[in-house]
Structure 1
């Protein structure tokens, strides 16, 4: 499948280029709660929609992390960004790690927010049923969001998150993406990478929390770091936006690799 021109927004004029990739349950609007408070003097952010989401909702594709990675690299090429950092939320972290696997020399720093490991996610049968039927059952999407945020979020917020998810995702693409991010294991492609790699997790997230990161992310990346946000679950952009910005931008700022302008 040929690379696709990912729809995207650009923010900031800073020398450090960053591409932020959304997760499974939303398009690029997942990052909306943090955009107003980013350091746009230090960073220039590109926030795209993956195939099957947002402005790319009707885009034909295989809907896999490897295809998404090729699309992200193509976006960087179109922007003229030779080197850049990556942020990926959940499924988006699988895409970001695939980018690292195919273009390691281009990546300055890698951030996973509640990241799916490069080994995928081994879901027990009952959880697989919950996830695999979420393309057609809104109540499954709601249950997934509720469980992964500790069961403590307001009902109205859960309803809003589900409504957005249904609006911005194509059901077929949504279901197909699941097979890729949950079942593909490519950790041998990134294991031993010396690219600085930060995992930011929420203490209220039972699925993609600190324990899993210690068994995966921290073992595979030679320069790995882990930050746990105590008041957050899986959706830190919504739940603890300022704490997330501080953790991510402090990590990106530590690059020390010059301006990175290109």
Structure 2
């Protein structure tokens, strides 16, 4: 079981779920688009039961009390600052960082820019941004898979995604994620300003730069049926890690690895953290 709480950090107040004793080894988990901290509910509960202190928080734009209005406020520099601010508020000088999707992008940047704060990094779905960028330039398949990104930056994206009861958002999950979870994500995003804030992560891309290679011990997990990340980007991720590296493929699993292969992924996490 996990507890719900708010974390008052220097960059905002963030909603979070937590499990485990406060003195346990700290693990911070970052969700992706268009989910929430509850996407990690299974992992948080199991990690906490195993004696770790697991915390997943609704990131900038997803937490109502941390939802600035300007696109520039969602550049990766600010998202990384949130990670460190939340860790500081929790009293964590060093911690393990886990991210899925866009949360993995934030995790890669954090690991590259602040290796002194991290014990390990685990990235699910999204490889190192350098690997993805290179694949988009050299691999036609990856270029096709990334065509959804400009669509998410369009001014009309909110209207399109929320039309017909959020049909387009539901389609993102295919049949891979339980309907009650999807209903919860859509209810959150239907709040005034919530979807705009989530989409501003993509609209702020023009301020972002690629992170350097990562020296922090890294685990990268990729689902072979991920429609957004192809094999070229996934298999080249290790080229961007100069430290200890482990790559795991989830056969016949989509982008939504934390929900679709929850037990398997949690087992990998526990092994990596040990």
Give the TM-score normalised by structure 1.
0.79
Instruction: Tell me the alpha carbon deviations over residues 196-249 of structure 1, each in whole angstroms, 9 at most, x when there is no partner.
Output: 11111112113225431222x210102221111114211112211111101112
- 1:227 equivalent in structure 2: 248
The number of equivalent residue pairs is 243
- 2:272 equivalent in structure 1: 251
Distance 1:109 1:153, change over 3 A: closer
- 1:85 equivalent in structure 2: 96
* Distance in 2 separating the partners of 1:201 and 1:183: 27
* Distance in 2 separating the partners of 1:154 and 1:28: 15
- 2:4 equivalent in structure 1: none
Contact map agreement 1:204 1:230 (CA 8 A) in 2: yes
The answer to which structure has the higher helix fraction is 2
* Larger mean Cα displacement after TM superposition, 69-78 or 134-143: 134-143
Contact map agreement 1:210 1:228 (CA 8 A) in 2: no
Among 103, 112, 115, the residue aligned to 1:104: 115
SS in 2 for 1:52: coil
User: Gaps (5+ residues) in structure 1?
Assistant: 147-151, 254-262
Distance 1:182 1:116, change over 3 A: farther
Q: Which runs of 4+ in 1 moved over 6 A?
A: none
* Distance in 2 separating the partners of 1:238 and 1:55: 24
* Distance in 2 separating the partners of 1:88 and 1:5: 20
- 2:18 equivalent in structure 1: 10
Contact map agreement 1:19 1:46 (CA 8 A) in 2: yes
* Distance in 2 separating the partners of 1:206 and 1:82: 37
Give the TM-score normalised by structure 2.
0.76
User: Gaps (5+ residues) in structure 2?
Assistant: 1-9, 137-142, 162-166
Alignment of 1:3-152 (within 5 A): 3-13=11-21, 15-56=24-65, 58-60=67-69, 62-119=73-130, 122=136, 124=144, 126-133=147-154, 134-138=157-161, 139-146=167-174
- 1:194 equivalent in structure 2: 215
Residue 184 of structure 1, CA deviation? 3.5
* Distance in 2 separating the partners of 1:231 and 1:161: 25
SS in 2 for 1:23: coil
Residue 167 of structure 1, CA deviation? 3.9
* Distance in 1 separating the partners of 2:170 and 2:253: 17
Contact map agreement 1:88 1:113 (CA 8 A) in 2: yes
